[in-house]
Each structure stands twice: as C-alpha cells, then as structure tokens.
Structure 1
Amino acid sequence: MNIQTKVTILFFFLTSMVILFLNGFIFLFANHYAFEDFYKRLETRVQIVRSIYSNKNSDSSRVVQNIRQQYLEKLPSEKEYYLPIPSGEQLMTSLPEELPKEFLADLRTNQKARYRQDNKFFAGTLYRSPTELTLVVVSATDPYGFQEMNHLKNILILGFGISILVVYWVGKVFSYQTFKPIREMIHNVQNITAQNLHLRLETNGGKDEVNMLGHTFNDMLTRLETAFEIQNNFVSNASHELRTPLTVIKGEAELALRQPGLTEAHLYSLEVIHRESEKLNQMITGLLGLAQTGFDGKKQNWEAIRTDELIWQVKESVDQLYPQNKIQVDFSKLPPEEDELKVHGNATLLKLAISNIVANACKYSYNQQVIISLQSTDKQVVVQVKDMGIGIPAQELRYVFEPFFRASNTSDFEGHGIGLPLSMNIIRLHKGSIQINTKEGKGTDISIVLPVAEPHVINQVAAQEIPVSQRS
C-alpha cells in the first residue's frame, strides 16, 4: 500500500469519526431537550391536578380547572393519578399496576421523579402531610416527539452516509494533490539512468520538504556524476597506460624468441615472460571491461537487439576459442512474434557477457555438450546455458560473482575469476539478472533474464534505420 492510499484511508477514518461523534452529539442533545420540554408539560399538569384535587370545594379549584381546559391542550393518552396514602401504609401497596416500580421507588426516595417506558412518560410528586401521603402522577405519550427523533435519526444516518462518501472523495483528491510533486519527482528520478546523469530534478526554490528532497537528490546526482567521470577518466587512462608497456614487453619477448643461439634457460625464461605478459594483458582487459561496465556505459551504442541473432554471434565467437566444442542451439521455444525476442542494449557488451558464460560452460565441461536455449515469457527474454561439467560446490555458489574468486574445483583450468563478474555487471547494466542452478560433478544451468524492449524503443530504432528520403 503506497503512502497516498494510507493518507487517504487515515483522512477518511479520522474525518468519519469526527462526523460520527458530531452526529451522535446532535442526536443526544436534541433527544434530551425534546423530551425535557415534554417532562415539564407533564410536571405542570401534576401541579394542576394537585391543586384541583386538594381544593375540590373551593373557588380556586374551579378557576384552576377552567384555566386548564381553556389554555392547556390535552396530551396524547394522558392519564392522571391522585392517590392519598394513609399514614403508616407502604408506598408500593395498593397502587395501580401500570405505575412502574422503579418510578415509585424513585418517588419514595426523592419525593419527585420522572420516568419513561418506551414511548410512555411519567411525572409525579409525593406530598407529605401530618396525616397522610399524597401521590400525584400524570402519564402521557409523545408520538410527535418520537416521530421527530426518528426523522432526525434517519436524516443523521443519511447525512453520515453521504458525508463519508464526500470525505472519501475529498481525501482522495487531497492526497492526490498533496503527493503530486512526489509522484513527479519519482517519475523524473526513474528517467535518470547511468546514460543521463547530467539531468537534474526541477525545484521551484521553496523551502518545503519536497524542494529540500529535490535539492538532496540533485546534490547526490552531482556527486555520482563526478565519481563516474573520475572512474571513466581512470579507466581510459589506465587502458592506455597499462597496455602500452605490456605491448612492448610482449613484443620484445617475441623478438628475443626469434634470436638464434638461445640456451634452454634463456628460451624458457623468454617463453614464461611472453606467456605471463599475455595473461596479464587478458587480466587487464577483463578488469578494464569490468570497471567500464560498472560505471555507466553511456558512451556505448544502445539499440534494439534480436537475441536469436546474438546467440549465433556468440556461438561463432566461442567456436574460435574452443574449436572442439559441442554447442547445440535450441530454438524450439521461440515466440511467434519476433519483437518478443528483442532487448534494448549494447550488442557488443551483451555478446561479451553471454560469450563468457558459454565459454566457461565449454571449458569446465571438457568440451562436452553445451545447450543454449532461448525463450520469451512474461515480457522477459531468457537465455539458458546448460552444461554437463564439473559444477560449482554449493557452499561456494554465493561467491561466484565476486572478482578474482575461483571455485575450489577449478585448479586444473586456467582463469582469473573475472568472466562471471563482468557478465553480471553487463546484465545488470541492461536491467537483467543471472540465475544459477548447479550441482557439483553434474553440471551447471545458467539462465540470463533480460527485459523485452518496449515498443517505443523498437519503433524508434526502426525509424532511425529508414532513410530520410523514404520517410513521409
């Protein structure tokens, strides 16, 4: 889950909780004050009932009753209770069953009480006199209040549902706009490769975190470009400075070997010098290639390459090194479309990488059968090189891509431990990978996985191959 989605979900959750809390508060507040008004109306009727019943024969009682009839609307299902309780008699005894016991218990304790049972409301007062207790209770229902509260509840639920949808949409837009500069930065960074380290991220000069991150990336790219240029210069200079004296040593050794009258000791020494200078030349060539593929390859020519044609070129190259090889090319799994065999890269480097692996397969198998197969799956081209050679010890497999490492079972073979690391660097430069399955004494199976060239790369290369005069 990316950060934008996390921010959207967090914003949605927090805002929904706030809206839910606000709706709950509104409902409880409205519920309290709606029924509070109804309770007050009930309590007013309790006072009126007491006045009427306690002064039945007086004029004031008739006045109160007239006021009640003229100005007080009768409540739905209104019922009155005026219950004198003789002194010494329990409150709970001989009372109507419709009066709730909890309500009566509250009356006995506090002399005044309210109670609600579903949609039926009770309000009452307990009056004490020297001779008796008087219980005055009025009950009624409030259907309109309940109906209003139900409407309010439905409105709040509907409003909450609509609100969370709006909140989710707003959160999505908010997070999208918030992380838009980050997405643009990621896109720009992905476009910066070893071939275009001179590119920089755009910054607007602000002091926010995004611009600070952009400046940090630009500083890092500057340091990387400087380091690569230094390495590039070193590789170029070393290539010239090291090869020149080696060429002189080798040439002088060859010239001395042609001189007549050399003793066996002199002849042996000159042959050793010639042989070791050749080894040193090969080692320097491998090291320089390893260093060059490790920094950028930006001066290399990149193009769309057909891997089936590349494999035939590799076979021709290895045939010159090991004429007695038994290389077998298997194209039985080729895809129907030739574009699925094309990769974007440098043909010379890829030929060198695959040639190193195929040459090792021939060398370490004593020129037994080596099978090179090619297939394309899931937008990847897989070149598989399988031999029946000495294999690699399992405990040493992790070290085979380290420069100068040689397995313990390769002492009978010449080598410098540079070929596989060089191949790995080239394949990584082409955004690919190398997978090895091996068993000591049984053979080795190496798979080179490369991404299929994107259609726009293939089209761009094809357009470059068309003469300008033929383009529309």
Structure 2
Amino acid sequence: MKIKTKITLLFFLISTVGLILMNAAIFYFVSEFNFEDFFKRLEARVRLAAQINIHPNEKSVAYQEVRSGYLEKLVNERDYVIKLPQDMRNFKKPIDLPDAFYNDILKKKLKARYNKANKFYSGGYFDTPYGKYLIIVSATDPYGFRELVELRKVLVVIFIIATTLTYIAGNIFSYYTINPLSRLIKQVKNLSANNLHERLDEINGKDEISELVHTFNNMLNRLETAFETQNNFVSNASHELRTPLTIISGEAQLLLTQKQLEPETKKLVETIHNEAEKLGQILASLLGLAQTGFDGKKQNWQPIRVDELVMTVVGLVKKIEPEGTIDINFSSLPEDETKLYTEGNANLLQLALSNIVMNACKYSNNQPVEIKVASENGRLMIAVADKGIGIPIEEQQYIFEPFFRASNTTEFEGYGIGLPLTLNIIRLHKGSIGIRSEEMAGTEIQIFLPVVPPVS
C-alpha cells in the first residue's frame, strides 16, 4: 500500500471516529435533556395530584383549575393515588414497575423515575395528616420520541456527508503531502550509470524531504566518483594490461618454436606461456565482471528467442568440451512462439548460459547434462541439470561471490569468476537465478528471464 493511500485512510479513520463520537455525544445529551424535561413535567403533576386528590377542598379545586387551564394535557396521562396501609407488609404494587422504583419512594423517601418503551413514570411519597400516600403519574412522550428519531436521521445524513467530504479532504491532503516525494521518486527512477552527473531538484525549506534530497545528491556525488573511477580502471586495464600480456604470450610462443632450446628451458617457457594465457583469461573475466556492474546501455539490446539461444550455446560448448554430453528438453515449450522471446544482449546471455553449461559438463566429468526450457507466468525458465559432484549445502550461499570455489572443486581448474559474472548478466536482463544442489548427486541451476514478445 502506498504512503498516499495510508495517509488518506488514516486521516479518514481518525475523522470518522471523531464524527461518530461527536454524533453519539449530541444524540446522548439531547435525549437526556428531553427525558429530564419530561420527568420534571411529570414531577410537577405528581405534586398537583397530591394537592388535588389526598384531601379535596377549596384549594384542591383551585389546583384542579390550574392544572386544567394552564398545564398541557400529556398523551396517555394517568394519575395513581394509593393510600399506604399501616402494615407495609400488606402493600401490593399498583403498577408492574421494578422494585427499585418503589424502594426509592417508600424506604428512601425519594422521588423515583422510570421509563420503558417511551412510557414514563414519576412517583413521590406524601406523609399527610390524612395518611401516607404514594402518588404515581404516567404518560407517554411521542413528540419527544419523534424529535429523537428525526435527530437520528439528521445525524446520519450529516455523518454520511461529513465522511464523504473527509475522504475527499484526505485525498487532497495526502496528495499535497506526498507530491514532493512523488516528484523525487520520478527523478530518481530516471537516474542511471549514464546520467549520474544529473542532480535532484533542490527543495527550499528544512523539512525531511529537503534533507532527503540533499542526502541523495551527496550520495550521487559519491556514486559518480566511484563509477568514474571504475570506468577509468576498466578502460585502462583493458589497454594497459592486455598489451604486455599479449607480448609475453607471443614472445613465449615464438621462443617455443626455437629448436635449440634445452628441454628444461623449454619446460620453463611453456610454463610462462600457460600462466600468461591463464592470466589473460582471468583478466578478461574480471573486465567482463566489472563491465556488467553498470546498468547496461540498451542500444545493443534486441529480441532473443531462448530456444535458439540454447542451441547456439550448446554448439559453442561442444566445441570447447567435445567429450561432453548435452541433452536438450524442449517438451515444455509453449505453443505461442511469442512467449519464447526475451530482450537483451545476445552475446552477454550466451556468455552467461555457456558458463553454467560448461560448469555442468566440467564438474560432472562429462556425464549427461540436461537443458530444459519452459515458459510460465510471464517468465522464461532455462534449467541446466547435471549429475556431478554437487555443492556442499553450507557453501551454496557463497557460490555467486567472486573468486569463491567450493571445497570439493580442488581437482578442477577454475577461478571462481564465471558464476558471479553470470549473475550480473542475468540481473542486467531483469532476471534471476535459482539453484538446487546435493553433494555427490548433482546440481540444477535455473535461469528466469522476463518474456518480452518481439515488436511486429
């Protein structure tokens, strides 16, 4: 999930929780206010009911007139006037209400309130010269209930509108927050070994993004210096080192043609010639390894059909290892020929694959080597399997390090450069390498390359 989406969702979540809490608080306090107001109206009627009903007289008539003339008649309003017995054990509840309601009135001598399903009850205790009385007034509040229903609808509508606006605001907020970072990512993606002299656009300010830009530019300065140093070394080495090696090898070869050489001298010259040839091979491998460290100039890239690449590599390897046995398995090739193509530098891919195939022939003592080609999930797979000495499991993680050689390869000639060079080439082509190996059972190396259909 992108940071922009995370910021939007976080902003939306926080705002939504805040809106829910605010709406819940509004609904709660409004409903509490309505309930409190209605209960106070009932309590006033409890007192009037006591004045009117406990001992009717002239004052009672006046209270009745006040109640009838000035107080609104509540919906389903009803008075309960209960004279309490001397022995409270004989008291029976006149209305089916909770015991706590009657306990508050009769034992604690407090006002009591109760409501259920929009039915409200208010009661009081009155100790008069005419006896002890329990007065209860009940009524319903449909108007207040409708107000709460309407309030709930209004709050829901406001919540939907507010959350929608919050999501839009979150998108705008995240866009302007991440936009400088998005521009930075776009500029970084355009950088390569060919334009390391370019720098990211400086951003005014002292925030984290401006510090990140400054850090990137400092890193680019160091990278440019390192690449220039490496490039200069590769260029100089290719000219300055190859020339004397070629001279040494040529002079030694010329010296070997002399018939008057003593046997011991001829043996020494042969050693010089062989070691110069080895040094030349090592130098060529090192230069290839260094050159593939760059991100590659694509002007030489072209569509490459993998089955044809395998056939070419097999032909090259058989010229070098004529005793090797190589079986090609094309049974898993796709019917659609466009799925057999990738894009890259044919010479580099031939070098990478031939390194693997020659290793398979060499370390299996020329036992049969199988090459299988398949295409699935948008990737091409080239698997090279042998029945050779295998690689110790604890050493398999190091085989792609330059100059590393497994402990069981001492009897075989090599320099430990082929596989690192192969890995660099495959990575250069946006591919990957997998390996499965068991000591004394064999090794299988799988190369995965992206399918890039040729342009018609």
| TM-score, normalised by the number of residues in structure 1 | 0.85
| Residue 242 to residue 29, structure 1, CA distance change in 2 (3 Å) | same
| Matched residues, number | 455
Gaps of 5+ in 2: none
What CA distance in whole angstroms lies between the structure 2 residues aligned with 1:175 and 1:92?
Answer: 73
Q: Secondary structure at the match of 2:121?
A: strand
Partner of residue 13, structure 1 = 13
Q: Which amino acid aligns with 1:322?
A: E
Structure 2 counterparts to residues 99-118 of structure 1, below 5 A: 101-108=99-106, 109-118=108-117
Which amino acid is 2:256 matched to?
L
Q: Which residue number corresponds to residue 137 of structure 1? A: 136
In 1, Cα distance between equivalents of 2:93 and 2:415 = 110
Contact 1:12/1:171 (<8 A) preserved: yes
Q: Give 1:136 shift.
A: 3.5
Q: How does 1:416-455 map to 2 (within 5 A)?
A: 416-453=415-452
| Paired position in structure 2 for 1:39 | 39
Structure 1 residues 311 and 74: CA distance shift in structure 2, 3 A: same
Alignment check: 8 A CA contact 2:55 2:130 kept? no
Q: Shift in Å at residue 159 of structure 1?
A: 4.4
Judged with a 3 Å threshold, the aligned counterparts in structure 2 of structure 1 residues 91 and 208 are, in CA distance, closer, same or farther, namely: farther
| Cα distance between partner residues in 2 of 1:62 and 1:110 | 27
Partner of 1:467: none
- Displacement, 1:389? 3.2
Q: Which runs of 5+ in 1 are unaligned?
A: 463-472
Letter in 2 for 1:102: A
Alignment of 1:256 onto 2:255: yes
Residue 288 of structure 2: SS of its match in structure 1?
helix
* Equivalent pair of 2:112/2:123 in contact (CA under 8 Å): yes
Q: Which runs of 4+ in 1 moved over 6 A?
A: none
Which amino acid in 1 is paired with 2:356?
I
Deviation at 1:149, TM superposition (A): 2.1
Partner Cα separation in structure 1 for residue 38 and residue 208 of structure 2:
58
The answer to whether structure 1 residue 396 and structure 2 residue 384 are counterparts is no
SS in 2 for 1:77: strand
Question: Displacement, 1:231?
Answer: 0.8
1:92 Cα deviation from its structure 2 partner: 7.7
CA–CA distance in structure 2, aligned partners of residues 238 and 194 of structure 1: 20
The code of the aligned residue for 1:48 comes to: L
Q: In the alignment, is the contact (CA less than 8 A) between 1:334 and 1:376 conserved in 2?
A: yes
Q: Kindly state the Cα deviation for residue 270 of structure 1 after the two structures are TM-superposed.
A: 1.0
1:325 has 2:319 as partner: no
In the aligned structure 2, how far is the partner of 1:265 from the partner of 1:100?
Answer: 122
Aligned residue in 2 for 1:182? 181
The residue identity in structure 2 corresponding to 1:36 is E
CA contact (8 A) 1:114 1:124 kept: yes
Amino acid at match of 1:429: L
Q: Which residue of 1 is the match for residue 313 of structure 2?
A: 314
Closer/same/farther in 2, CA of residues 82 and 415 from structure 1, 3 Å limit: closer
Secondary structure at the aligned position of 2:241 is classed as helix
More off after superposition, 193-202 vs 62-71: 193-202
Q: Give the percent of matched residue pairs that are identical in Structure 1 and Structure 2.
A: 51
Of the structure 1 ranges 306-315 and 192-201, higher mean CA displacement relative to structure 2 is found in 192-201
1:379-406 Cα distance to aligned partner (Å, 9 max, x none): 2122222333333333332222222222
Q: Which residue number in structure 2 is paired with residue 469 of structure 1? A: none
Rate the CA distance shift 1:305–1:34 in 2: closer, same or farther, 3 A: same
Give secondary structure in 1 for the equivalent of 2:214.
helix
Which residue in the other structure is 2:217 paired with?
218
For 1:144, the aligned partner's letter is: Y
